[in-house]
C-alpha cells in the first residue's frame, strides 16, 4: 500500500482498462471496490436455479471487441482466459403479427434479405454501411477518442480537407438527425425499420433524439462487422481475466472497501479515506463514479465552482430485467431465430417511441420494447446440458412510478415484489405469443426492477444503466459537464472516468483507455 502511483475507485470496465494499461506501464496501481466482487456491471450469478449462470447486467461485448482497448490488450487478456462466443446472427426483430427479420454478419446476405422485403431497402443499407465505413476513422475517434486534443483538431482538419468545408458542415448536420427521420426517409418496409428502431434505446436515446439516427447506423455497422459476442462462462470471466492481468503486472485489488472521501491538500489529490476511516495515499486518484458521487460525497469538503447550468447532472430511464431458467430450448415460430444472439420484440418506430415516452413520463409501458438474449445458444456452459437460459431486458422502465399506461396494474409509487411480478407477467405474455412451448419449458425466473439495479450498483442511479442521460446537451464535449476536459477535474491529480464521462456508456472501456494513455501508459 506504500508508494502507490494511482488509486482507482470502482472496478468497472473503465477502471479495469485503466488499471491494466497503467500497471503494464510499470505504474503501481490499487483498485478499490465497495462490493464483494470486481467488474461493476460485469456480474454473473446463479439467480434462478443452480447451474444456470446469468449475466445480471452487462452481457454483450461488441463495443469492447471493436475498441482500441481490446486491440491493445487482446493478447494479454487471452493469456489470462478471456474467450468470446459468437453467432453469425447477432440480432433480429419480431413484430406482433409474427413476421421477423434477421441481421447476419454476412454483408451481401443482409443486402439480399432487405431487397427481398422491399426493393431498394438493401441498396439503402449498403449505402448506410458504406458511409459509416468511409468515415469510420473520423467517426469512431469522435465517438471514442479524447475530444480536447490536437489529435481531434487534426482529425477535423483532415475531414474538412477531404469533404470541403461546406460539405463537412452538411455532413455534421445530417449526423444529428433522429432515428425516426433516418428510418422513415431511408427504408420503406416496416420490418426493416423495426429491425433497427429498438437499438437506439441501447444508447440511452429514443427514436426522436438528436443524433440517434447516426448511432443507429453505427450500431448496424458494428453488429454486422463484429456480431454480438458474449464471454465464455459469463461476463464475470472478463473481469476475472482483467484481474489476473493486472495482478501479474503488480497491481492490487481490495474489495469490501467503500471510499468515503478523496484526500485533497493544497488543491491536489493525495489519496482517499475509506468509510472505516482508513487513509491510503497515492500520487493520483482515478474515480469511476457518477458526478453526484464525486461532487457531493467524495469532494463534499471541497469548494468546486460550477455555473448554474452545471449543477444538475440528469439520469435517464431505468432498466427492467428478467432472467429465465428453461427446461429446453425455446421453439420460436420462426426456427431461424433459435441462434440469434439478441432479439427485439416490437412493432417498429412508433411502438419504440410510445414505450420510451411512457417510461419517461413515469408510466409502466403498455407494450414494452423487449430485448431477448439467448446466451446459452452461444455458450452452452451457461447452463446444464439440454437446458437453456433467457436474458430479457426492458430498456424503458420508470424508476418512480406514476401509473400504468394500460390502466390494468394498480401501481405503487415505487417498485415492490408484487409490482415486479405483475409487470414481468405482461412481458411474459408477449414472449409466449411467439414461443409456443414457453410456459411448458419455464422452470424459474428472477426479476430486477430499476430500484433493484440502483441498490446493487451505486452508479446505476434510478436504474439508469447508461451513467446519465445521453441527450446531446450532456454528451460529447458536454459530458459530464461543459467544463470537463479529458477526464480532468478542478482538483490536480484527480481524474474522473466511467459511463458518466466521455465517451459515455457501454463496454468499450473508452474513458479508462483515453486517460491511461494521457498518463503515459
pLDDT at residue 461, rounded to an integer: 94
Answer yes or no: is pLDDT of 135 > 80: yes
Burial class (CB in 10 A: 0-12, 13-18, 19+), 116: exposed
Answer yes or no: is pLDDT of 376 > 80: yes
Degrees to nearest 5, angle at CA 463 with 274 and 244: 50
pLDDT digits (tens, 9 = 90+) for 35-71: 999 999 999 999 999 999 999 999 999 999 999 999 9
pLDDT at residue 303, rounded to an integer: 64
pLDDT digits (tens, 9 = 90+) for 464-500: 999 999 999 999 888 988 888 889 998 999 999 999 9
**Residue 329 falls inside a structural domain:** no
The residues facing 104 across adjacent strands are none
| pLDDT classification of 459: cutoffs 50, 70, 90 | very high
**Containing structural domain, residue 71:** 6-42+56-83+233-312+470-518
Answer yes or no: is pLDDT of 345 > 80: yes
Answer yes or no: is pLDDT of 24 > 50: yes
Answer yes or no: is pLDDT of 306 > 80: no
The residues facing 436 across adjacent strands are none
User: Do residues 460 and 454 lie in contact, with contact meaning Cβ atoms separated by under 8 Å?
Assistant: yes
pLDDT at residue 309, rounded to an integer: 45
pLDDT digits (tens, 9 = 90+) for 393-433: 999 999 999 999 999 999 888 999 999 999 999 999 999 99
Answer yes or no: is pLDDT of 10 > 50: yes
CA 443 to the chain's CA centroid? 28
**Residue 484 falls inside a structural domain:** yes
CA-based Rg of the chain, rounded to a whole angstrom? 23
Answer yes or no: is pLDDT of 138 > 90: no
Burial class (CB in 10 A: 0-12, 13-18, 19+), 477: exposed
Residue 30 three-state SS = strand
Give the C-alpha separation, 193 to 172, whole Å: 23
How many folded domains does the chain comprise?
Answer: 1
Mean pLDDT computed over 253-258: 96
pLDDT at residue 150, rounded to an integer: 82
pLDDT at residue 162, rounded to an integer: 85
Answer yes or no: is pLDDT of 311 > 70: no
**Predicted TM-score of the model (pTM):** 0.94
User: Do residues 520 and 71 lie in contact, with contact meaning Cβ atoms separated by under 8 Å?
Assistant: no
Q: Residue 493 is part of a domain; what is its CATH number?
A: 3.50.50.60
**Residue 483 falls inside a structural domain:** yes
Q: What is the mean pLDDT of the chain?
A: 93
Residue pointed to by grid coordinates 449505402 = 127
pLDDT at residue 163, rounded to an integer: 86
Q: What is the DSSP string of 78-134?
A: HHTT--EE--S--EEEE-TTS-EEEE-S-HHHHHHHHHHHSTTHHHHHHHHHHHHHH
Question: 3-state SS of 213-233?
Answer: HHHHHHHHHHHHHHCCCEECC
Contacts for 515 with CB less than 8 Å, ≥ 6 apart: 18, 286, 486, 487, 495, 497
Mean pLDDT computed over 268-289: 96
| pLDDT classification of 148: cutoffs 50, 70, 90 | confident
pLDDT at residue 442, rounded to an integer: 97
| Polymer length in residues for the chain | 521
**Residue 420 belongs to what H/E stretch?**
helix 417-434
376 dihedral zone (left: phi>0; alpha: psi -120 to 50; beta):
alpha
Residue 418 three-state SS = helix
Give the C-alpha separation, 206 to 358, whole Å: 12
Grid coordinates given for 322: 428478467
pLDDT digits (tens, 9 = 90+) for 104-134: 999 999 999 999 999 999 999 999 999 999 8
Question: 3-state SS of 432-454?
Answer: HHHCCCHHHHEEEEEEECHHHHH
The residues facing 92 across adjacent strands are 102, 343
pLDDT at residue 151, rounded to an integer: 82
**Residue 475 falls inside a structural domain:** yes
pLDDT at residue 304, rounded to an integer: 61
**Residue 147 falls inside a structural domain:** no
Backbone φ, ψ for residue 268 (5° rounding) = -125, 135
pLDDT at residue 483, rounded to an integer: 80
More confident residue, 102 or 311: 102
**Residue 209 falls inside a structural domain:** no
**Residue 434 falls inside a structural domain:** no
Grid coordinates given for 414: 415505487
More confident residue, 230 or 164: 230
**Residue 32 falls inside a structural domain:** yes
Q: How are the residues of the chain apportioned to helix, strand and coil, as percentages rounded to the nearest 5? A: 40, 20, 40
| pLDDT classification of 307: cutoffs 50, 70, 90 | very low
pLDDT at residue 310, rounded to an integer: 52
30 dihedral zone (left: phi>0; alpha: psi -120 to 50; beta):
beta
Helix axis angle, 107-117 relative to 121-134, nearest 10°? 140
Grid coordinates given for 175: 449526423
Give the C-alpha separation, 36 to 94, whole Å: 39
Grid coordinates given for 459: 452508479
pLDDT at residue 153, rounded to an integer: 84
Amino acid at each position: 500500500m506504500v508508494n502507490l502511483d494511482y488509486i482507482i475507485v470502482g472496478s468497472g470496465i473503465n477502471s479495469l482498462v485503466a488499471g491494466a494499461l497503467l500497471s503494464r506501464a510499470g505504474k503501481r496501481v490499487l483498485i478499490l471496490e465497495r462490493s464483494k466482487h470486481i467488474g461493476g456491471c460485469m456480474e454473473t450469478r446463479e439467480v434462478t436455479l443452480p447451474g444456470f449462470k446469468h449475466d445480471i447486467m452487462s452481457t454483450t461485448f461488441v463495443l469492447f471487441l471493436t475498441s482500441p482497448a481490446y486491440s491493445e490488450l487482446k493478447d494479454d487478456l487471452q493469456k489470462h482466459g478471456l474467450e468470446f462466443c459468437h453467432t453469425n446472427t447477432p440480432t433480429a426483430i419480431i413484430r406482433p403479427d409474427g413476421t421477423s427479420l434477421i441481421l447476419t454478419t454476412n454483408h451481401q446476405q443482409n443486402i439480399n434479405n432487405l431487397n427481398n422485403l422491399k426493393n431498394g431497402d438493401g441498396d439503402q443499407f449498403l449505402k448506410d454501411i458504406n458511409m459509416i465505413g468511409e468515415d469510420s476513422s473520423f467517426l469512431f475517434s469522435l465517438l471514442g477518442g479524447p475530444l480536447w486534443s490536437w489529435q481531434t483538431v487534426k482529425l477535423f482538419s483532415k475531414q474538412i480537407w477531404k469533404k470541403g468545408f461546406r460539405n463537412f458542415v452538411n455532413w455534421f448536420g445530417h449526423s444529428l438527425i433522429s432515428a425516426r427521420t433516418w428510418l422513415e426517409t431511408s427504408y420503406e418496409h416496416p420490418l426493416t425499420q423495426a429491425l433497427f428502431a429498438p437499438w437506439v434505446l441501447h444508447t440511452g436515446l429514443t427514436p426522436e433524439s438528436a443524433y440517434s439516427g447516426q448511432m443507429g447506423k453505427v450500431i448496424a455497422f458494428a453488429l454486422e462487422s463484429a456480431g454480438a459476442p458474449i464471454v465464455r462462462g459469463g461476463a464475470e470471466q472478463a473481469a476475472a481475466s482483467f484481474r489476473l492481468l493486472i495482478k501479474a503486472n503488480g497491481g492490487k485489488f481490495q474489495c469490501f472497501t467503500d471510499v468515503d472521501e478523496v484526500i485533497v491538500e493544497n488543491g491536489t489529490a493525495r489519496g482517499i479515506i475509506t468509510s472505516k476511516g482508513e487513509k491510503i495515499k497515492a500520487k493520483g486518484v482515478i474515480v469511476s463514479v457518477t458526478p453526484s458521487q464525486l461532487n457531493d460525497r467524495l469532494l463534499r469538503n471541497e469548494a468546486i465552482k460550477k455555473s448554474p447550468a452545471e449543477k444538475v447532472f440528469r439520469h435517464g430511464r431505468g432498466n427492467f430485467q428478467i432472467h429465465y431458467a428453461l427446461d429446453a430450448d425455446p421453439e420460436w415460430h420462426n426456427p431461424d431465430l433459435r441462434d440469434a444472439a439478441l432479439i427485439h420484440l416490437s412493432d417498429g418506430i412508433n411502438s419504440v417511441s410510445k414505450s420510451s415516452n411512457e417510461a419517461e413520463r413515469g408510466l409502466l409501458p403498455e407494450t414494452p420494447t423487449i430485448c431477448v438474449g439467448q446466451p446459452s445458444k452461444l455458450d452452452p456452459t451457461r447452463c446444464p446440458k439440454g437446458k437453456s437460459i433467457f436474458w430479457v431486458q426492458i430498456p424503458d422502465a420508470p424508476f418512480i412510478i406514476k401509473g400504468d399506461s394500460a390502466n390494468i396494474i394498480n401501481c405503487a409509487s415505487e417498485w415492490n415484489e408484487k409490482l415486479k411480478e405483475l409487470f414481468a407477467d405482461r412481458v411474459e405474455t408477449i414472449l409466449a405469443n411467439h414461443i409456443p412451448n414457453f410456459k411448458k419449458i419455464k422452470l424459474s425466473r428472477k426479476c430486477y426492477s430499476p430500484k433493484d439495479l440502483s441498490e446493487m450498483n451505486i452508479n446505476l442511479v434510478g436504474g439508469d444503466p447508461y451513467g446519465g442521460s445521453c441527450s446531446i446537451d450532456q454528451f460529447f464535449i458536454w459530458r459530464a459537464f461543459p467544463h470537463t476536459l479529458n477526464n480532468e477535474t478542478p482538483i490536480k491529480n484527480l481524474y474522473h472516468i466511467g459511463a458518466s464521462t466521455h465517451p459515455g456508456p457501454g463496454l468499450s472501456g473508452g474513458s479508462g483507455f483515453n486517460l491511461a494513455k494521457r498518463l503515459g501508459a
